[in-house]
């Protein structure tokens, strides 16, 4: 039996994927995320697997912060020179492919979908098509829930099996093109547990916090839609009839709760207004909700200000915020993308893919000008190099780095005045001969 037939016969999607019994917490299955402490009869005990396909606000904010920020950064192919300089290879095949991965996706949309796939499902797959020269020409995303990596036990080579159930945006033969070799597959995975070919989503680590976060939001939505409490109550010691109660309620609503709200209601007949405050249980619920938000953001390595939670924030500018973000989750994500793209394009030693993160400060004009100005004044950038970063044309005399020379000792002028005059330069042989001829002609004229 051929290798391709053996891979097809493995049928990795033929049944339910069982979790590892030794694994603590939650494990992914076809039904959802199962608690590994459940016994095999969980489906008869009213136990429902966790399903993260639904949108959770905090999870969506963290994933969107990572995916959309990374999608803003263009990818460059860099040649590392022997002198330490990095030269961008403009127009190289990796840059051309990543600028337009296929006919129906832009670079930002492709990268955004890749990162969302890897954080929600644990894996992101894209199959590469090649031209007549064997170079990568296009990249097409595959459904991570219908793609499985398998390894040939004889040769150790890795192949990817695509389930025929998935709707591919490109045409392929069901019998021949369902199995792809690893050299033609982009596979991004952040963490592997027991299987090095299968990534694990960070959602598994915060499954309990995500469930609690969603439950709290659902509880509040149900409460306010079905059992909303009033903002206050009117009380009196007098005995009121039903008509009087209805009249007071209507008059008070017209004065304080309708379009003309803000007016001063006049209460008589011993009526008192008591405002409904936040109970201690509601305050504890709000604190618990904040703890789930912090737990989810820690798992995704996203700072709280990035997801619009300014609790304990002391940031003063955008540069500090982006520096922290790059040092946490975004930096590792970009590094993983760069290395996987370098493997797919078979870049030789000395070449690499690099995402340009300076575009994240595109809206912060002041910070960019201060950084370029300081780099130019200290000789790090030449003037034309700094202008090129802003898309400006070069100017005459701006190709060499320059430094300022105003840092001199206080007695610099006295030191310069005390120096002996420099001797006149010794003329060259031709200059001596010319001077002798001039002197001879001058004496001849005088004679």
Domain end among 170, 205, 240: 205
Do 122 and 264 lie in one domain? The reply is no
pLDDT, residue 22, reads 34
The string of pLDDT tens digits covering residues 338-384 is 999 999 999 999 999 999 888 887 777 787 888 888 888 888 888 88
Looking at residue 333, its pLDDT comes to 92
Which tens digits make up the pLDDT trace of 254-263? Answer: 666 554 555 5
**Beta carbons of 418 and 412 less than 8 angstroms apart:** no
Higher pLDDT among residues 302 and 19, named by residue: 302
Whether residue 245 sits in one domain with residue 196? no
Task: Give the pLDDT of residue 16.
Answer: 37
Whether 131 shows a pLDDT value over 70: the answer reads: yes
Are both 28 and 170 inside the same structural domain?
yes
The more confident residue out of 366 and 127 is 127
- pLDDT classification of 301: cutoffs 50, 70, 90: confident
Task: Annotate 365-377 with DSSP letters as a single string.
Answer: HHHHHHHHHHHHH
Q: What does the buried/exposed string (b/e) look like for 135-167 if buried means 16 or more CB atoms within 10 Å of the residue's CB?
A: ebbbbbbbebbbbbbbeeeeeeebbbbbbeeee
- Judge if pTM exceeds 0.85: no
Residues 102 and 170 in one domain: yes
Distance, in Å, from the CA atom of 321 to the CA atom of 325, rounded to the nearest integer, reads: 6
Q: Which residues pair with 151 in a beta bridge?
A: 158
Q: Report pLDDT for 226.
A: 47
Closest CA to 267 of 255, 284, 258, 283: 255
List the structure tokens of 438: 């001039």
For residue 223, what are its two tokens?
């409460």
- Are both 44 and 158 inside the same structural domain? yes
What is the extent of the structural domain holding 119? 3-205
- The mean pLDDT of 320-324, rounded to a whole number, is 75
If DSSP codes are grouped into helix, strand and coil, which group holds residue 353?
strand
| Position 101 pLDDT exceeds 50 | yes
Question: 370 and 250: one domain?
Answer: no
Interacting residues of 172 by C-beta distance below 8 A, sequence separation 6+:
178
Region 220-234 average pLDDT: 57
The mean-pLDDT minimum among 16-25, 163-172, 263-272, 341-350 falls in 16-25
Name the 3-class secondary structure at 320.
Answer: helix
Residues with Cβ within 8 Å of 352's Cβ and at least 6 positions away in sequence, in order, are 77, 78, 80, 338, 342
Pick from 79-88, 128-137, 215-224: least confident: 215-224
Low-confidence winner among 186-195, 271-280, 298-307 (lowest mean pLDDT): 271-280
Both 182 and 127 in a single domain? yes
Report which of 81, 107, 113 is spatially closest to residue 94, judged by C-alpha positions. 107
Of 146, 172, 205, the last residue of a domain is 205
Mean pLDDT of the 399-408 span: 77
Average pLDDT, stretch 1-29? 49
Residue 201 shares a structural domain with residue 270: no
- pLDDT band, residue 329 (cuts 50/70/90): confident
Is 4's pLDDT higher than 90?
A: no
And the tokens for 50? 């966790």
pLDDT, mean of residues 283-296: 70
The closest of 385, 408, 389, 411 to 398, measured between CA atoms, is 385
Q: How many CB atoms lie within 10 A of CB 171?
A: 6
Final residue in a domain of this structure, among 155, 171, 205: 205
Neighbours of 28 (CB within 10 A): 21
pLDDT of residue 95: 93
Q: How far apart are the first and last CA of the chain?
A: 115
- Return the pLDDT at 414: 83
Based on the fold, state whether residues 34 and 155 are members of the same structural domain.
yes
The mean pLDDT value of the chain amounts to: 76
Higher-confidence residue: 373 or 15? 373
Cα(52)–Cα(59) distance, integer angstroms: 9
User: 């299987």: which residue's tokens?
Assistant: 195
Same domain membership, residue 235 and residue 97: no
């Amino acid at each position: 039996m051929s290798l391709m037939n053996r891979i097809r016969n493995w049928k990795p999607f033929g049944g339910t994927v069982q979790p590892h019994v030794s694994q603590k917490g939650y494990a992914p299955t076809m039904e959802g995320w199962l608690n590994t402490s459940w016994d095999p009869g969980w489906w008869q005990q009213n136990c429902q697997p966790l399903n993260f396909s639904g949108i959770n606000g905090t999870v969506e904010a963290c994933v969107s912060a990572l995916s959309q920020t990374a999608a803003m950064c263009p990818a460059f192919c860099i040649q590392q020179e022997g002198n330490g300089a990095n030269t961008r290879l403009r127009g190289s095949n990796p840059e051309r492919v990543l600028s337009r991965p296929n006919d129906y996706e832009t670079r930002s949309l492709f990268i955004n979908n890749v990162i969302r796939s890897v954080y929600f499902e644990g894996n992101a797959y894209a199959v590469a098509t090649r031209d007549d020269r064997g170079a990568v020409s296009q990249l097409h995303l595959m459904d991570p829930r219908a793609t499985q990596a398998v390894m040939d036990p004889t040769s150790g080579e890795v192949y990817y099996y695509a389930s025929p159930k998935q709707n591919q945006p490109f045409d392929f033969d069901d019998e021949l093109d369902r199995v792809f070799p690893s050299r033609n597959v982009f596979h991004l995975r952040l963490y592997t547990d027991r299987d090095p070919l299968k990534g694990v989503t960070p959602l598994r680590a915060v499954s309990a916090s995500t469930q609690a976060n969603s439950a709290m939001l659902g509880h509040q939505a149900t409460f306010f839609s079905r059992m909303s409490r009033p903002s206050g109550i009117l009380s009196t010691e007098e005995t009121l009839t039903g008509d009087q109660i209805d009249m007071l309620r209507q008059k008070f609503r017209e004065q304080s709760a309708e379009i003309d709200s803000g007016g001063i209601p006049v209460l008589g007949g011993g009526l008192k207004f008591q405002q409904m405050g936040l109970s201690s249980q509601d305050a504890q619920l709000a604190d618990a909700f904040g703890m789930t938000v912090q737990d989810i953001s820690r798992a995704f390595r996203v700072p709280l200000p990035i997801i619009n939670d300014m609790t304990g924030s002391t940031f003063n500018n955008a540069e500090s915020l982006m520096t922290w973000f790059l040092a946490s989750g975004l930096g590792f994500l970009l590094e993983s993308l760069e290395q996987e793209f370098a493997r797919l394009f078979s870049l030789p030693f000395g070449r690499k893919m690099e995402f340009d993160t300076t575009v994240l400060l595109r809206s912060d004009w002041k910070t960019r000008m201060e950084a370029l100005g300081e780099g130019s004044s200290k000789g790090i950038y030449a003037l034309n190099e700094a202008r090129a970063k802003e898309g400006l044309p070069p100017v005459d005399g701006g190709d060499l780095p320059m430094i300022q020379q105003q840092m001199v000792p206080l007695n610099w002028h006295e030191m310069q005045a005390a120096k002996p005059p420099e001797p006149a330069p010794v003329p060259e042989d031709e200059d001596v001969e010319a001077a002798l001829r001039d002197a001879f002609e001058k004496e001849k004229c005088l004679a």
